[in-house]
Amino acid sequence: MPDEGNKPVRGFALEGVTVRFGRVEALKDLNLSVEPGEQAAVIGASGAGKSTLFNVLTRNVPLAAGRVTVGGRDLFAMPARELKAVRRQVGLVHQAYNLIPQLSVGMNAALGEIGSMSNLRLIKTLLLGPDAGLTARVSGALDRLGLGEQIRTRTADVSGGQQQRAAVARLLVQSPGLVLADEPFAAVDPVTTDRVIETLAELNREGATLLINLHDVEVARRFPRVVALREGGVVFDGPPEQLTEERLGEIYAGETPGSVERGPEDPEVSGGVTPRKQDPARRLEGRDGLPAR
- Give the model's pLDDT for residue 33: 96
Helices (H), 132-189: 132-144, 160-174
Q: What is the CA angle 87-92-94, rounded to 5? A: 150
Range of weakest confidence among 32-41, 103-112, 249-258? 249-258
Positive/negative CA dihedral, 6, 11, 16, 20: positive
Residues 185-226 pLDDT 10s: 876 788 888 888 999 999 999 999 999 999 899 999 999 999
Dist CA 21 CA 49 (whole Å): 12
Residues 122-179 pLDDT 10s: 788 878 888 899 999 999 999 999 999 999 999 999 998 899 899 999 999 999 999 9
Dist CA 70 CA 11 (whole Å): 6
More confident residue, 69 or 118: 69
Indicate the pairing of strand 24-34 with strand 12-21: antiparallel
Sketch the domain layout of the chain as residue ranges: 1-89+217-293
The answer to whether 139 and 164 are in contact (CB under 8 A) is no
CATH topology for 1-89+217-293 is: Rossmann fold (3.40.50)
- The pTM score is 0.80
- Give the model's pLDDT for residue 183: 86
The residue length of the chain stands at 293
- Give the model's pLDDT for residue 255: 67
Per-residue confidence at 7, pLDDT binned at 50, 70, 90? low
Instruction: Give the DSSP H/E element, type plus range, for residue 271.
Output: none
